[in-house]
Structure 1
Amino acid sequence: MASGPGGPLLFDDLPPAGSGESGSLAVSISQTIKNEGKGAKRKTSEEENGNEELVEKKVCKASSVIFGLKGYVAERKGEREEMQDAHVILNDITDECRPPSSLITRVSYFAVFDGHGGIRASKFAAQNLHQNLIRKFPKGDVISVEKTVKRCLLDTFKHTDEEFLKQASSQKPAWKDGSTATCVLAVDNILYIANLGDSRAILCRYNEESQRHAALSLSKEHNPTQYEERMRIQKAGGNVRDGRVLGVLEVSRSIGDGQYKRCGVTSVPDIRRCQLTPNDRFILLACDGLFKVFTPEEAVNFILSCLEDEKIQTREGKPAIDARYEAACNRLANKAVQRGSADNVTVMVVRIGQ
């Protein structure tokens, strides 16, 4: 589904629960193409039977248990003068989205934004992206929830970026802020992950074969040194020097960064889809301030050790599990600073419960 040279891989299916995945952090494009091929064959047969809508409903209702999701966050300014990260935790926005009730039971949204050149782009994205998403969320009967949600996400990112750039260019002098965006939209037990830039989303999934927890990457980093990203930038008349767009900008996709949009920097996100399973423990969303000093596996194992720490004190009236997740976020953010991450650090952990 890549849209031409350097185009985004818009709908990348992550491996299913029983695929025996280890801690590998890349989903191969060949696997994606296989999945898409299977999907195409399936769709044809469904259309022949005239049962496409019925099949969609059956798939959505296949698991009667909708996993509960709850977000926790910690942030540290680090050595930076100001905090340019922003985040959003919306454990349940079903009522606001008003989805077609026959198909969708619960909608949640979690996001991390890492600003650069100022705080305005990340703050704007945190305030507006989910509002635009709610407005554009599918209403009434839809034949394919997945296609409609994907289109909704693409439109939402485009609209949010355009709104910010319009506001930024009207200032004197014009704002030059930009921001990454990593958003997880949960529709029942399906995660849709849309991201720009180098903030990341990681899923902790227990692998029954190896009896170990794996760190599965849910997002795709965008930096100008990657072949497809560099080709798009060069095609637009820009260049990559010292691993940066025009020798300055570290990411090749972002919200804002108006002065680089004519050089091939885009706000079109990669969108991936992941079916939650009973083996899934939590989702980690974090900016590159964490991943400069932690590998995804290290971060996941650090969180797991905190969750198993029975010494963590809980305040009266607060469930012990909440105290442990809060402590995991705070300890991981602190450890990133101790390890020398000079950047802002935002750590969000989304608990997956049954």
Structure 2
Amino acid sequence: MSNLLAEPVTEKEHDGGNVTCMNSRLFYSWAYSSMQGKRKTQEDAHCVTMNFGDHDHHLMMVCDGHGGSLAAKKVREIMEQHLLEQTFDIHGTKKELHKSYANNLFNSFLEVDKKLAEVEEFKSGKDFSGTTVNLAMICEEQIVCANAGDTRCVVSKDQKAIDLSQDHKPSHSEERERIIRAGGHVTNGRVNGLHGVARSLGDFGYKEGCLDDVNKQLVTCKPDVLVYPSEISTDEFVLICCDGVWDVLTSQEAVTFIHECLIVKKIPDLQTCLDMLLDHCLDKGSNDNMTAAIIALPGFCRVHNYFKKPSSACNIS
């Protein structure tokens, strides 16, 4: 029986706004949009938290669930709280700061997966869902991206797309080799012929007996972490979308679409741009849940003056 609806659910959970940093007074604009689409259930979760913690950090995360919605929802909750409890070395050199962020985000994926395994529904074997996770921590001079799965993070630089993450598909050579070393196989582009992503949180049926060794997990929670030195004069915005978007658009097509909405169509806010992006993907044939989140960086906001007067800091999830 098909898991697709005859008619898509196009109502969107969405929001957006503007914020000034507490310390640097830099101005950012943000938005998210999420749509169930043609799937019978909505299994995505997301988080956009401006002025995250005690410093001028901004957190953006998209979780694309599968096999149910519980893993995505729980990871969103657990990850945000876990990161709030971390200590980042903000007083060292730039190299030390980058290392602090990279280490914290890498370890956070591993620790959050263990915490997820202790949730009653997973511990008792009542729920077998999993979720991809793509998380970006945005600071004044750097963007740190941590990713497990095929949700993708892209930065727009001079209207050109730069991928900050790579999709973890089982058919990719590095993923295939890792899966084989862990005792599995890849058939028809799927782990053991069944699972469509090579890395995720949850999916504990693929991690039995090896929660403490991510290299032995058939579907591993181990993230790739990339530290991107941001340039305020040329970097425009950071965009994270689940694979419902990337199934039908390239990174460059998505970036170009946002710029055209703002510049050509004179759309006054990012939320409307993302709503239009999801509708565009639906028209192009996407059959999946779709979630997109965006943070526009200070130079882009200032030069183009697209966005309205800053509002207070906010946490949206």
TM-score w.r.t. the length of structure 1 is 0.71
1:198-245, CA deviations, whole angstroms, 9 ceiling, x for partnerless residues? 000111101xxxxxx211101111111111111111111111111000
Give the structure with the higher percent helix.
1
Given the alignment, which residue of 52, 57, 62 partners 1:112? 62
Give yes or no for contact 1:118–1:177 (8 Å, CA) kept in 2: yes
Q: How far did 1:170 drift?
A: 2.3
Distance in 1 (CA, whole Å) between partners of 2:40 and 2:220 is: 28
Contact 1:190 1:273 in 2 (8 A): yes
Q: Does 2:200 correspond to 1:254?
A: yes
Q: How large is the Cα RMSD of the aligned pairs?
A: 1.9
Alignment correspondent of 2:78: 128
Please give the secondary structure, in 2, of the residue aligned with 1:91.
strand
Q: Which has the larger radius of gyration?
A: 1
Q: Is the 8 A contact 1:108 1:187 kept in 2?
A: yes
With normalisation by structure 2, the TM-score equals 0.79
How many residue pairs match? The answer is 265
Deviation (angstroms), 1:140: 7.9
Instruction: Give, in angstroms, the shift of residue 300 of structure 1.
Output: 0.9
* 1:264 equivalent in structure 2: 218
Q: Which residue of 2 aligns with 1:81?
A: 40
Aligned-partner Cα distance in 2 for 1:294–1:221? 14
Amino acid at match of 1:78: G
Alignment of 1:159-178 (within 5 A): 159-167=111-119, 168-171=121-124, 173-178=125-130
Aligned residue among 290, 293, 305 for 1:348: 293
- Asked if 1:339 is matched to 2:309, the reply is no
The residue aligned with 1:276 is 230
Tell me how far apart the structure 2 counterparts of residues 70 and 203 of structure 1 sit (CA, whole Å): 15
Please list every run of 5 or more consecutive structure 2 residues that lacks an aligned counterpart in the other structure: 1-22, 209-216, 300-317
Inter-partner Cα distance in structure 2 for 1:140 and 1:338 = 45
1:147 and 2:99 are equivalent in the alignment = yes
Please name the residue that 1:300 is paired with: 255
Residue pairs, 1:166-315, within 5 angstroms: 166-167=118-119, 168-171=121-124, 173-206=125-158, 213-262=159-208, 263-277=217-231, 278-309=233-264, 312=267
Question: Which residues in structure 2 correspond to 1:2-151 (within 5 Å)?
Answer: 68-95=27-54, 106-138=56-88, 142=92, 144-151=96-103
Matched letter for residue 338 of structure 1: D
Q: Residues 92 and 65 of structure 1: is their aligned pair in 2 closer, same or farther, counting only changes over 3 Å?
A: closer
Which deviates more from structure 2 when the two are superposed, residues 162-171 or residues 109-118? 162-171
In 1, the alpha carbon distance for the partners of 2:262 and 2:196 equals 34
Q: What are the Cα deviations for residues 256-315 of structure 1, in whole angstroms up to 9, with x where unaligned?
A: 000112552111110001111111111111000001111111111111011114654xxx
The Cα offsets for residues 146-182 of structure 1, whole Å up to 9 and x where unpaired, read as 22222211221111101112224323x4311100001
Alpha carbons 1:142, 1:148 under 8 Å: kept: no
Which amino acid counterpart does residue 138 of structure 2 have in structure 1?
A
Bigger fraction of residues in strand: 2
